[in-house]
Chain A
């Protein structure tokens, strides 16, 4: 890649500043994955429709597959790797687990970041608001229903209204 014009940019990802030298054409998602080793952000459609590559840039969700990394110079970026606090999952991650808000897990990081933004903008969203909010992101596995349940449950917990669910066997679904 010698001879290609590169730019030094600084990205603060999950609170940690990094300076990387990138080609102007390099996409943000590729810089996150390849230069910074943060492979939690996935690539789905590569044309900005599916939302799999969603990260938060200065607090707002963006599609990192159609954003050049140089456009993010100086920005604060949050990715799925920044959600958990060590061994403790973020309430969104924990509720996605409890409600089975994921199957293959591939859209999950983008969906979690979008859900973060939804709750940050409205700490008490209705199921309808969550449904409309996550319609930005495609999930091919779940049919979205358990994602909506998980986001609502996480919002409840983050407002301090609900307890952490039992780890082993929740949720038990009554056999009809």
Chain B
């Protein structure tokens, strides 16, 4: 079937048992400063002479900019500079862009000839304070020539639609159909083909802290230092230096803690470029911090916005054979990450099911909207939703119990290569399902549902089983193209461990800025596991990009696995040196030593030992006690590369291994729909996740609950609504509805642990948590509730209006 010979997987690892710290819900080491209000976020930063920037946004979805008059703004009190889009295009080059054809859909920090969405930056003002910058911003006169906008995903691809980018000649930025396995044969042999049309509308991360940067250009040295709450992909930051027209070795980007990201601070380069450009122009440090309207309308990180036409081929007994997926994704006005979101989908496109063949057609539409970027799940949560909707529909149409149809198709042999070529490393889907059914009191709720229906109450149970891929490879960004421009393969993460003369340990992280995830706690626990110390005694620091080791940062649930590999590697080097030092000091053979409880001792003679502190002080201060070739000090680094990536085949019938550590979960929400108001309320919610070996169960539970809360938003409330003129109707939290404590139920959480055979301790990523599952589960639950009425919701979010419309439509159409 595949056209490549699969390279052998990495060797199967044995995992340390028992573990002292990995697996314990310790209090997070990050927290004390945040609890005291001393988090040190970007907005808290001040530098001597620092100025503030405010961006003027386009009020039009699509308009030619025919003139800008900045004279009055420049003369306003406290103003140091006003930069228009045209001027910015001289000061900077286009922004780093991984899209299909950057020369034809060129993306800049400010719009130049025309604005392509409501919110796009037109000019920037730099002034003594944000107040004064906004005062002056109101004095800028812009002449627009409005153009017909295109704000509808399907209209965008029609002949004659207004073009978002004339140079592209089309609003279709990318189109391709992939076939994996014997799709036509499987469809021909199937008993039934279930079809579905589904619509997932756009929402986004909406962290409570917006994206910002403080830039400080030193004209004497040519050095630009930027502090920002978005730092990732350090190996790619030369592209940002290129945008700013400075040498890469004159750019230092330093991480600040981020007040939430959920993907939306992934490689968010525009604020860095705007702040850097302004600092150079004004000759002073400049802060550019988005306000909330900027973050909603001009953040470059809206989430997926898809239409699906799906066909699932099954046998009458429920055996799934093949799936055909045809999706159009509305990327907005630019497409900075290409269609990597669909690479995510292809990593786990068949879910936990033995579906032997896949056809996947993707079209990327450009429209007059803020562009897509990253939102927790990066497009694979949408695939989970699509797949579970059609599996649910198939179960209903075939008259098979929803638990049974899933069990009938579960993958049970691992490692398992799915048709796209990606591998599932390990899993135990039956065990997770069993645990979830018990935790959810599934049988009890089925009985309650029967009783409720007799009372004309509409209770629904939303059982879904779905995947959470973790630790991406670079290949998913370019296997789309037969001749990719840059078929890169590096996505490393690095850690330096330093043992000081007292035995105290400091870990340095590179680019992995704190996002609300727990990189410091993870590293502290992993270091404690290696060195038998208390994790709260481990000191953690972050290094800026300039003197940093290569690192990628959070994204695709990679952080914990990658940091674990880096810590393991650096610790092994420290221990190797400490072992040799001990052997020398004790005049023993290295082979006779063993690491026990924080030190090396002679096997069988526990009294003959040196603690790490005793070894460290010797290595730091007593050079002449050691062989000539031993360097002073005790500090080691590890650049940890992706543990298991294989290359795609030339014909792209096999995409290789690119997302191998496969988590799994079963969510079971129980909801009630009020058919008079369209309100959905939760009666119960159980979630069991398997992310391999747990490092900190409480923090994973936090991701599960928090992600589920976001998934509830996606399923029921949150939508960036653009009207047909491309006006954004939801530019505040009065209209963009984020769930409060009253909309999020208390979750019953269960963990199952199927260790990965290929990662340190068997850890898999779990950072995208409940958002991978909740939209799918809640949709299934609503449809389960409304099934007696013949109603099936196929569009998210399921707002009261949409639910009531679906109920009305069902009443009006003959069944």
Interface residues of A (CB under 8 A from B): 1-3, 23, 25-26, 33, 38-47, 49-50, 52, 79-81, 83-84, 89, 93, 96-100, 102-109, 112, 131-132, 134-148, 167-173, 175-176
Contact = CB atoms under 8 A, between A and B. Distances in A.
Contacts of A173: 25, 697-698, 701
Contacts of A38: 37
Interface of B: 24-28, 30-39, 41, 43-44, 77-78, 128-129, 131-132, 205-209, 257-262, 291-292, 435, 439, 514-518, 534, 536, 688, 694, 697-699, 701-702, 705-710, 732-734, 738, 740-742, 744, 746-747, 749-753, 770
Contacts of A134: 741
B698 A171 contact: yes
A79 B292 contact: no
Contact of A132 (B39, B515, B742): B742
A100 B742 contact: no
Given A44-B209, A105-B31, A106-B208, A140 B738 contact: yes
A176 B751 contact: yes
Given A3-B77, A140-B208, 11 more contacts: A46-B292, A49-B732, A97-B27, A104-B514, A105-B259, A105-B516, A142-B705, A142-B709, A143-B770, A144-B709, A169-B26
A81 B36 CA distance: 6
Contact of B709 (A50, A104, A108, A143): A143
Nearest to B701: A173
Nearest to B732: A47
A97 B259 contact: no
Contacts of B77: 1-3
Contacts of A137: 740
Contacts of B734: 47, 49
Contact of A1 (B78, B536, B751): B78
B35 A93 contact: yes
B28 A100 contact: yes
Contacts of B28: 97, 100
B733 A103 contact: no
A136 B707 CA distance: 20
Contacts of A131: 741-742
B34 A140 contact: no
Contacts of B435: 176
Contact of B260 (A81, A106, A112): A106
A143 B38 contact: no
17 contacts: A39-B43, A42-B209, A47-B732, A97-B32, A100-B27, A103-B516, A104-B261, A105-B35, A107-B259, A131-B741, A138-B738, A141-B702, A142-B709, A143-B744, A145-B705, A168-B27, A176-B439
B35 A97 contact: yes
A143 B749 CA distance: 13
A44 B290 CA distance: 11
Contact of B741 (A2, A46, A148, A167): A148
Contacts, number: 212
Contacts of B27: 97-98, 100, 167-170
B424 to A, nearest CB: 22
Contacts of B205: 140
A112 B35 contact: yes
B34 A105 contact: yes
Given A134-B741, A138-B208, A145-B744, A104 B258 contact: yes
A26 B132 CA distance: 11
A26 B516 contact: no
B740 A140 contact: no
Contact of B25 (A41, A45, A93, A171): A171
B702 A146 contact: yes
A104 B259 contact: yes
B706 A50 contact: no
A31 to B, nearest CB: 12
Contact of A142 (B514, B694, B706): B706
B733 A45 contact: yes
Complex A-B, nearest 4 residue pairs according to Cβ-Cβ distance, in ascending order? A40-B37, A105-B34, A106-B259, A104-B516
Given A40-B37, A168-B534, A141 B291 contact: no
Contacts of A141: 260, 516, 702, 706
Contacts of B292: 44-47
Given A80-B37, A143-B709, A167-B27, A49 B733 contact: yes
A3 B699 CA distance: 52
Interface centre among A147, A148, A171, A173 (most CB of B within 10 A): A173
A176 B688 contact: yes
Contacts of B291: 46
A80 B35 CA distance: 8
Contact of A145 (B131, B688, B694, B747): B747
Nearest to A43: B43
Contact of B41 (A3, A106, A143): A106
Contacts of B41: 39, 42, 106
A143 B708 contact: yes
Contacts of B733: 45, 47, 49-50, 138
